[in-house]
A and B are shown apart, each in its own frame.
Chain A
Amino acid sequence: MNRRRFVALSVLAVPVSAYAQANAHISTTDPLVFSLTKGKTVNPGRVRLELPRLAENGYSVPMTVRVDSPMTAAQHVRAVHLISEKNPVREMASFWLGPHSGRAEIASRIRLNGSQRMVAIAELSDGSFWSDALDIEVLEAACTEAG
């Protein structure tokens, strides 16, 4: 590699590494994540996923997801996607909200096929994506035969 080429490459490398850093907590090349974000950057923050750290079994685990948003016509959360790392069906749920929601908070009870990392991705009205990831330990998986 000659000097000219090296300089050209290093200029390229800066935005690439910034992109990689913003996405470090979540794999954007994951086909499921890609299908939701269409390859856009997923920023860490603004989303808070709440799960117990440890669950005795994975049959029914309480889950709350909150997104920091004023929920006005101009600025609101469009959708929240819940992704599992290890479940046979990885796309657990998607929720669609709008300014009429008033508060970007959804709670449910989920099934988990063993200890894993859970990811919540929020799509905002300005087209940006934000996320939170959380590790949860599950002592007894919900679907032992799922393989």
Chain B
Amino acid sequence: MALARIRMAEQARRGELVEVQLLIQHPMETGFRRDANGERVPRNAIHSFACSYNGSEVFRATLSTGIAANPMLRFYFVAAETGEVRFWWLDDDEVEGSARARLMVA
């Protein structure tokens, strides 16, 4: 279960640059940390992330434990048509997460 907070403009003009800032709630466990009982906490980090806009991919990333807990990503894409922006990610436990936002293009 992962929660995400998206910061993105709701409207844009055609051809305008849209900034996306995404914050995903995830421990990005490194596999090196020990819990209170001295047991190693197994590695679990988001390793794949993708963002699609109206069905076509506009941004993709492979991440590692080198990304801080509760990963933040900020990137850009160009507004074309009114439609849906989808975010998808997958962690080492094969748990998928997703989020979506709507962009109105005038």
Contact = CB atoms under 8 A, between A and B. Distances in A.
Question: Which interface class (under 10, 10 to 19, 20 to 34, 35 or more) fits B?
Answer: 20 to 34
Question: Which interface class (under 10, 10 to 19, 20 to 34, 35 or more) fits A?
Answer: 20 to 34
A111 interface: yes
Given A106-B74, A143-B30, A143-B32, A93 B62 contact: yes
A146 to B, nearest CB: 5
Given A88-B32, A100-B77, A106-B74, A111 B62 contact: no
Interface of B: 17-18, 21, 28, 30, 32-34, 53, 56, 58-69, 71-78, 80
Nearest to A87: B66
A97 interface: yes
Contact of B66 (A84, A98, A105, A106): A84
B75 A106 contact: yes
Contacts of B28: 111
- Binding site secondary structure of chain B: strand
Nearest to B40: A145
A145 B53 CA distance: 41
Contacts of B21: 107
Interface of A: 59-61, 82, 84, 87-89, 91-98, 100-103, 105-112, 142-143, 145-146
B59 A95 contact: yes
18 contacts: A82-B66, A87-B66, A93-B62, A94-B61, A95-B61, A100-B58, A102-B18, A102-B76, A103-B76, A105-B74, A105-B76, A107-B75, A108-B71, A109-B72, A111-B28, A111-B30, A111-B65, A111-B66
